[in-house]
Chains A and B, each alone.
Chain A
Amino acid sequence: MIAPLVADVPRQGLVLLLLLLAALIAAPLIANDYLLTVLILILYFAYAGQAWNIMMGFAGLLSLGHALYVGLGAYTAAALFFHFGVSPWIGLPLAVAASGLVGAVMGFLAFRFGVAGVYFAILTIAFAEFARIGFDHWSWVGGSAGLFVPVANYTQNDLWTLRGSPRMFYYVILALTVAAFVVCHLLLRSRAGYYWQAIREDEEAAQALGIDTFRYKMCAVVLSAGMTSVAGIFFAFYYNNLFPEQVFNIGRSIELILGPIIGGIGTLFGPIIGAFLLTGLSELMQELLSAFGLDAPGAKHVFYGVCLLLVVMVLPDGVWPWLARKLGVKRQQP
């Protein structure tokens, strides 16, 4: 089972990967609470970025509204838990199904009616905004006043209801991130993965070769939406509060896609490297700013903007392809 996973990975890369994994598993032993929260945030963005990457990086479909699926996942699981005490693990398949369904509806409309490129990106924003305003007026889930998951007892870890200490949440998100990495690795080497890349490079040529582009684009959207909704469940139970204005905000969608773009679109390590760089640097900067007493609310996002600008201008392929060359772990082109 392991063999096909590592077949074409250079040995150096494998060693580095295992070292990174070991460090992440051991981290809570030495990290203090603050560092642990930062690591949780990094892994959260790495996971969500990986999910987004399936659409943009693999199939070339630019979604600027992924907060929609985060929000749907978060609200489905949290509302079930809040109203009926249903465990998030039972809510999970429902949340994935709900997000997948919405993704499928949007994908169907877009691909059936030939909505592509910039128009597609704007359609994804429109769906997210639609959901934001809709949830704002839906009182069963709290409307604009928000939905609050009963707060956790930090001393007791209850994995079944996801109520517990940051350490438990850390291992949950680490497991999710590793799983997403493995899934994406396998996907890239599957038939669907090669079809997606063909569609990304030249859709007409892919179609001429007999690829059912409609079907595979739908697959990418549904899969990406479903995976992203799991990030939403984590978000809901980790932060314990949900406001439509924040969860579905377009800023959230942008924040989520910065990691993979900075790390490298379409690569497996891009979302991870990007999340580390972005979250790490922004935390560092916040520390520096508050040390100098300059704690302005928008400063972090100005920094995000400048990072994005620089990366898009200087390293259009992202940091990872460049870093991989430097480390000598660039995979042989098949």
Chain B
Amino acid sequence: MPTEIYLNVAVNGLLTGLVYGLMALGLSVIFGVVRVVNFAHGEMMTLAMYATVVAFASLGLDPFLMLVPAAAALFALGYLLQVGIINPFINRPEHSQFMLLVAVATILVNLQLILFGPDARSVQTSYSFDSFLVGSLIVDASKAYAGATAVLIAGALFAFFRFTVIGKAIRACADNYTGALVVGLDVKRLYALTFGLGAACVGAAGVMLSLVIDVTPALGPAYTLLAFVIVITGGLGSMPGALLGGVLIGLTEALAGLLYTPSAKSMFAFGILVLVLLFRPQGILGKRIG
């Protein structure tokens, strides 16, 4: 095979990987602050994907117009979830929190199955088959837009945590729960805000991803796992790590699909997960906890 094919596949994998990164960023932010593993992450993402698909099919709305509404809706869902059922579980044992989110995930994925059925749905925009020619590389237009948007949103989130007062307060909660309480921060509300932000990230990622792949309810659990693989690879709780992990997994999947067979591509992602867990359990950019 000529080298260009590898390069083409690698670039497209990298762009998809950026969207994966944004999805994983949501999971990472939630875990880094609230210390709860969002087991319903992929299911939240397919919710946003379905919103995009339905809005496109019934109103003809371009997926990029759905970015803000979908992110806002997911923010509300995440906020309410944290206030309503997760906050009382903050001091419960780990497996108890895990079960709670497993229950939420089970309900979400099966509600989607009832509402939308098991068949794959997709968005066919006017630029679905467009591509850019960069030198001898062919870059898929939808993937390029999606990847660029993912980077922009991730950048905005970095800036929010770095430069705003609320962002600083959230980081304080993550660093020291008791300390944050002592200085008078409303930790529960900040937790809800964080969960909302994480959910908004995955909502935006879902809108972008609907440009790239077809949505089925079964995608939810699969992408929850993929998000875990990415954040553990990059480093749970590390924001740049999530993006890096996303790109790495996106590349791996794309190349595995080319070299072996597309249906076995997530096997390679799990292979990377096992290697990372064994040899660098804190992840590539993560810090060792405890």
Question: Which residues of A does B touch, CB under 8 Å?
Answer: 56, 62, 64, 109-110, 113-115, 117-119, 121-123, 125-127, 129-130, 133-134, 136-137, 250-251, 254, 261, 265, 296-299, 301-302, 304-306, 308-309, 312-313, 316
Chain B, residue nearest A110 (CB)? B277
CB <8 Å contact, B270 and A296:
no
Chain A, residue nearest B217 (CB)? A298
Q: How far is the CB of A24 from chain B (nearest CB, A)?
A: 29
Q: How far is the CA of A313 from the CA of B225 in the complex (A)?
A: 24
- Given contacts A250-B225, A312-B99, whether A126 and B270 have CB atoms under 8 Å apart is yes
CB <8 Å contact, B281 and A114:
yes
Interface residues of B in 75-96 (CB under 8 A from A): 85, 88, 92, 94-96
Q: How far is the CA of A265 from the CA of B93 in the complex (A)?
A: 13
CB <8 Å contact, A298 and B110:
yes
Question: Which residues of B does A touch, CB under 8 Å?
Answer: 37, 85, 88, 92, 94-96, 98-100, 102-107, 109-114, 118, 217, 221, 225, 228-229, 232, 261, 263-264, 266-267, 270-271, 273-274, 277-279, 281
Q: How far is the CB of A327 from chain B (nearest CB, A)?
A: 25
Q: B102: which of A110, A122, A308 is its contact (CB, 8 Å)?
A: A308
Q: How far is the CB of B261 from chain A (nearest CB, A)?
A: 7
Q: Which residues of chain B are near A251, meaning CB under 8 Å?
A: 221
Q: Which residues of chain A are near B85, meaning CB under 8 Å?
A: 309, 313
Most chain B CB atoms below 10 A, which of A121, A129, A296: A129
Q: How far is the CA of A251 from the CA of B94 in the complex (A)?
A: 20
Q: How far is the CB of B231 from chain A (nearest CB, A)?
A: 10
23 contacts between A and B (CB under 8 A): A62-B95, A114-B281, A118-B37, A121-B98, A126-B270, A127-B274, A136-B263, A250-B221, A250-B225, A251-B221, A254-B102, A265-B95, A298-B110, A298-B113, A298-B114, A299-B110, A301-B109, A301-B113, A302-B106, A302-B111, A305-B103, A308-B99, A308-B102
Q: Which residues of chain B are near A137, meaning CB under 8 Å?
A: 261, 263-264
Q: How far is the CB of A45 from chain B (nearest CB, A)?
A: 16
CB <8 Å contact, A133 and B107:
no
CB <8 Å contact, B270 and A129:
yes
Q: How far is the CB of B270 from chain A (nearest CB, A)?
A: 5
Q: Which residues of chain B are near A113, meaning CB under 8 Å?
A: 277-279, 281
Chain A at the B interface: SS class: helix
CB <8 Å contact, B264 and A133:
yes
* Besides A121-B98, A125-B225, 9 new A-B residue pairs in contact (Cβ under 8 A), listed by A number: A118-B98, A137-B263, A250-B221, A250-B225, A299-B114, A301-B110, A308-B99, A308-B106, A309-B100
5 smallest beta-carbon distances between A and B, as pairs:
A298-B110, A305-B106, A298-B113, A305-B107, A308-B103
Chain A, residue nearest B221 (CB)? A250
Q: How far is the CA of A143 from the CA of B273 in the complex (A)?
A: 24
Q: Which residues of chain B are near A130, meaning CB under 8 Å?
A: 267, 270-271, 274
Q: How far is the CB of A102 from chain B (nearest CB, A)?
A: 13
CB <8 Å contact, B221 and A304:
no
Q: How far is the CA of A91 from the CA of B274 in the complex (A)?
A: 30
Q: How far is the CB of B98 from chain A (nearest CB, A)?
A: 7
Q: Which residues of chain A are near B88, meaning CB under 8 Å?
A: 313
Q: How far is the CB of B34 from chain A (nearest CB, A)?
A: 13
Q: Which residues of chain A are near B118, meaning CB under 8 Å?
A: 297
Q: B114: which of A110, A117, A302, A316 is its contact (CB, 8 Å)?
A: A302
CB <8 Å contact, B228 and A309:
no
